[in-house]
Amino acid sequence: MSEFVVDAAKRYRPKQRLGEGAFGEVRLGVDSVTGSHVALKYVRIGGKGRGSGDGAVSLPRAVFRELEALRQLNEGPHVVKLLDVFPDETNLCLVLEYLPSDLGEVIHQAAEHLPSSHIKAYAQMLLSALAYCHSHRIIHRDIKPSNVLLSQSGIVKLGDFGLARVLDDSRGDGREDLSHQVATRWYRPPELLFASKSYSFSADVWSAAVIIGELMALTPLFPGNNDIDQMFRVFQIMGSPTPQIWPGVDALPDFSKVSFPNLVPLSLRTTLLPNASDAQIEFLLLLLRLDPAQRLTAADAAAHSFFCSPPLPCLAPHLAFYPRDAAVGSAAAGSTGAGAGAGAGRVAGAGGRDDELALRRSDGGGGGAAEIEARVTRLLARVLKKHQERLKQAPILQVRLCPFASFGLFSPAPPLMLFQLITTRFPPRCLDPFKV
C-alpha cells in the first residue's frame, strides 16, 4: 500500500461514474504516475456523530470495517487491493484496484451454459479467497455475484468489505454477538434468516455455494421476494429445518415465529440444476447444508477432490471475459469494479432498489423524477455549504494513521491502525468508533 499523503488528490484523475449509493459514489480513475485505471470510492464526511450534540463529523461504520479488512488482507491474491486513501474536500477517497467485470456479468451475459471447467475455476478461486479471509479471522457477510470481481486475465478477487467483521480469537470458536441483518437476501444463509446472532465463517460458505449453483444454472437458485418467501424457497428444496437434522435450530430467535409444512428435500437436478453433473451436485450439497456445522469449510472445499477430477479447472487466462459497461452509472450493489458497498450503498434484498425506494418514501412518494432530483440537489447544496464553511476555518486537511484499541467494532486484541482525519478545527473525537 502506498504512503497516504494529501498530494495523492492530484495523482488520481477521476473519470466517469461507476456507481453511487448511500455514502457517496465510485468513479473510474486514472493513476497519472502509472497510467493504470483505478476505482475511486468517495465517501462523504458528513452528518453528526451518533450521540454527539456538537455537530462532530463522522464516517460511516462500514468505512472503518472496510479499511481494516483490506489492510489485513492486502497481500491476498484473491482480494481487491487498497492502493491509497486521501481526503478530497468534504470526502474521504479510497483508491482501489479496478477490476472490469464480476460474476454477475458472467451469469447475465453468458449465452449458454458455462463449461464445467470454467465453473470449477470460478468456484475454486472464490473458495480460496474465502479461505484466505477466514484464515485472518475475517468474515465477509456479503458474498454475492457482483462482489466477486474479475480481472482482465480472469482472476477472481473479492470486493466490498463494508459488512466484514474481524471475529474474536479469544473464544476460539469464531462466534460472537453479530447482526443478522447482513448479506443480500438471495444469498443469505438459513441461520441469518432465523435471526441468529451467533454464526461463523460457514455463513460465507452458504453464500458461495448459492453463487456456484447460479453459475451452473445461469439463474438465481433462491430468488425470494421477502424474508418469508426466501425461507420457503430454500426449505422447499432443502427440506424443513428440524432439530433432528439441524441441532439447535429451534433455539434461534425467529424459528418459532414462522411455521412451514413438513417439506422433504427435493432433487437439485429435477428442480434447479437440470444440466448439472452428478459430481457438481454432490459437491454443491456439501456446502448447501442447513446445519452450518455440517458445511465444508472454505479451505476444505477449495482443496476438495472435485477440483482434481476431469475436467480440471480452466486456467484463468482462458476463461471467457464479460466486461461491464463502465460508461453507465448504476446503483446496483457492488457492481462498480471495487466493491461499492461502503462507498456506494447497499441493498438488503436482491433487486438493488432499496436506496431508490427509501428516497421516494422520504419524499412523499410522488412528484416525479425531476422534482425528487431538485429536492435532493437543494438538500446536498445545504450540506455542502455547511462543510465549505468549516473548511474555510480549517483549510489544511491532513491524514495520519492513528491507533485505536478494540472498541467492539473490531475484535482482535492488538491495537488497530485506522485512518483518522484531523484538522485544527475538527477534534479527533469526531471519528470516535462509538459515533460511527
Residues with catalytic roles: 142
**C-alpha triplet 240, 245, 247: angle, nearest 5°:** 110
Contact 404, 394 (CB under 8 A): no
Only one residue has cell 455514502, namely 23
**Distance from C-alpha of 324 to C-alpha of 221, rounded to nearest angstrom:** 23
Give phi and psi for 134, each to the nearest 5: -65, -30
**Distance from C-alpha of 331 to C-alpha of 354, rounded to nearest angstrom:** 10
**Distance from C-alpha of 120 to C-alpha of 122, rounded to nearest angstrom:** 6
**DSSP string across 178-200:** --SS-S-GGG--HHHHTT-SS--
Closest by Cα among 188, 191, 154, 151 to 175: 191
Closest by Cα among 117, 137, 292, 275 to 209: 292
**Distance from C-alpha of 60 to C-alpha of 19, rounded to nearest angstrom:** 18
Give phi and psi for 321, each to the nearest 5: -115, 130
Cell triple for 297: 469449510
Query: 17: part of which helix (H) or strand (E)?
Result: strand 12-20
Q: What is the edge-to-edge ordering of all strands in the sheet holding 82-88?
A: 12-20, 24-31, 37-44, 91-97, 82-88
Closest by Cα among 186, 218, 181, 213 to 199: 181
**Distance from C-alpha of 417 to C-alpha of 68, rounded to nearest angstrom:** 8
Cell triple for 349: 434484498
Give phi and psi for 280, each to the nearest 5: -65, -45
Cα→Cα distances 53→64, 239, 380, 393, 419, Å:
22, 51, 21, 20, 23
Burial environment of residue 75 by CB neighbours within 10 A (0 to 12, 13 to 18, 19 or more): exposed
Which residues sit opposite 138 in a β-bridge? 166
Cell triple for 327: 460508461
Give phi and psi for 8, each to the nearest 5: -60, -25
**Distance from C-alpha of 37 to C-alpha of 26, rounded to nearest angstrom:** 13
